[in-house]
Structure 1
């Protein structure tokens, strides 16, 4: 059984005719990605205030609390924060409360996931593959352990990480090297013993974002649905001042079997679910049982923003 995140999408085909002759599918222009209208809200100004990962802490009475991680690198810069959001649309209000990291601060946190079945426990991942298992109680963060992802055959830059439950209740981790332009992203999955920080044998598949197509990071975050569907955000990042473009797409499927068997398949022609102009999405978050989700952005010099968007499935 899986307990994690899902994004749902739209499909469409376009065709054209010229002088009465149908254009073959190979010659037809690809369909324009859907561009939903969302209400973005600033959660910080400047390059140290982006959102590089996000996990829902609590959802109740129309309000959501979420844990944010930031990819800061220098001592004293914020690594974790709590977001409180109330209301909907233009009436929504957000507040952000920085949290203190216990001990030596990690460098370049890029993703965070709740530990399914363990309220108040999370794992954050840095870009170099170091993972930090911690508990959150009120405003207090307690580090429970650290471990490293399995070795990657080439130097990787990780930007996506999610935890779910497998067929027999075992913990399964999914993580991704973001890729860059001609270098595809890589999705990975394996069972994880959180107590020892040890992984089962990982399986890996390459993936390329269908959109955007320039200055593209093929994976900027990922989500796993209750049925194992894998959905990914991709982003165009030409520099600290943008302009940024992002998209959500369905990438493939995760399946688990008995005795910790993990299977990972990737779609040869990923489906674009939605595109967003002006923001670099690096965080996806859903609450169990809710269709409403949160998008988080790291817009570099323009700071960070969040928006509610109905991409989740209970």
Structure 2
């Protein structure tokens, strides 16, 4: 089963009641599956549990800030199109605040990295009913315990292995006239040590108002840089999103990654009524899972051919 195959046309939760559709504009788009109602169910990052193995399971993070609110969920769409949503316990010395991104760790099954908007990251190990914090870190340019550099707000983090190197990409989301700031660096996994980041600024043409130029990012195994952009006018929307091909990431002869951006971003898909904050490209570099944080309209997922 591929990541595309486990999506049905509607969903009924096996753990908590999830309707096939919800009131408001979010119910209008074909292919979307609701994963939870209300503002605490929004999906801000998503990753495949067993990349390339076709298990059909996803791990999602939520950008909640208060005790008692979910931080991580395990998702599966059953054969009948039923959405199974299991909230997982966070097992670590501190409860995270505003988790905005999630990536699997290539070559290390059951291990993930989650990132807060502040730039604090967590190396996680998946357990049957919990995620355990193995290590904490901060991305370059952010001092421990502080908010993002120059007021930056990070909404993406992804890992890919290229040329024998583990490459990390993360980005300040930007807002309207403030461009997104995309960073790339080599990552030495044993010590969680980053190389010197290389950065570029990014703006997108759509959405055009109240836009976050990068609301998530992923790199395919072939080096394609796929990002989402989203409009966020408030907790009730209306939301708009698009997915873009920004260009390529290549590892040079010095072993360091560099971004090679297109002159203009290529728009791969438009999603009205949703605020896409999670993009995870499949192991075959063609399919993707998209996740949304639609605030009062809850969390949603769908598949899409936006990574090929």
The residue number in structure 1 matching 2:17 is none
Residue 92 to residue 61, structure 1, CA distance change in 2 (3 Å): farther
Deviation per CA, 1:5-26: give whole Å up to 9, x if none.
xxxxxxxxxxxxxxxxxxxxxx
Please report the TM-score for the alignment, with normalisation by the length of structure 2.
Answer: 0.84
SS in 1 for 2:50: strand
For the 8 Å contact 2:159–2:167, the answer to whether it is kept is: yes
Please state how far the C-alpha of 1:285 moved relative to its aligned partner. Answer: 1.7
For the 8 Å contact 1:166–1:257, the answer to whether it is kept is: no
Q: After superposition, where does 1:59-208 map in structure 2 within 5 Å?
A: 64-87=56-79, 92-103=81-92, 104-151=94-141, 154-167=150-163, 169-208=164-203
Aligned counterpart in structure 2 of residue 219 of structure 1, from 206, 214, 235: 214
Please state how far the C-alpha of 1:310 moved relative to its aligned partner. Answer: 2.5
Please state how far the C-alpha of 1:92 moved relative to its aligned partner. Answer: 2.6
For the 8 Å contact 2:232–2:239, the answer to whether it is kept is: yes
Please state how far the C-alpha of 1:63 moved relative to its aligned partner. Answer: 5.8
Runs of 4+ residues over 4 Å off in structure 1: 59-63
Please state how far the C-alpha of 1:203 moved relative to its aligned partner. Answer: 0.2
Residue 60 to residue 144, structure 1, CA distance change in 2 (3 Å): closer
SS in 2 for 1:301: helix
For the 8 Å contact 2:35–2:300, the answer to whether it is kept is: yes
User: RCO greater where, 1 or 2, for CA within 8 Å and sep 6 or more?
Assistant: 1
Please report the TM-score for the alignment, with normalisation by the length of structure 1.
Answer: 0.82
Deviation per CA, 1:119-162: give whole Å up to 9, x if none.
11100000010010011132232211010011165221000111
Aligned counterparts of 1:229 and 1:237: Cα–Cα separation in 2: 26
Please state how far the C-alpha of 1:264 moved relative to its aligned partner. Answer: 1.4
Aligned counterparts of 1:263 and 1:290: Cα–Cα separation in 2: 19
* Bigger-Rg structure (1/2): 1
RMSD: 2.0
Aligned counterparts of 2:260 and 2:306: Cα–Cα separation in 1: 21
Mark the runs of 5 or more structure 1 residues left unpaired by the alignment: 1-36
Aligned counterparts of 1:264 and 1:179: Cα–Cα separation in 2: 18
Residue 283 to residue 181, structure 1, CA distance change in 2 (3 Å): same
Deviation per CA, 1:205-230: give whole Å up to 9, x if none.
00001211011000011111222111
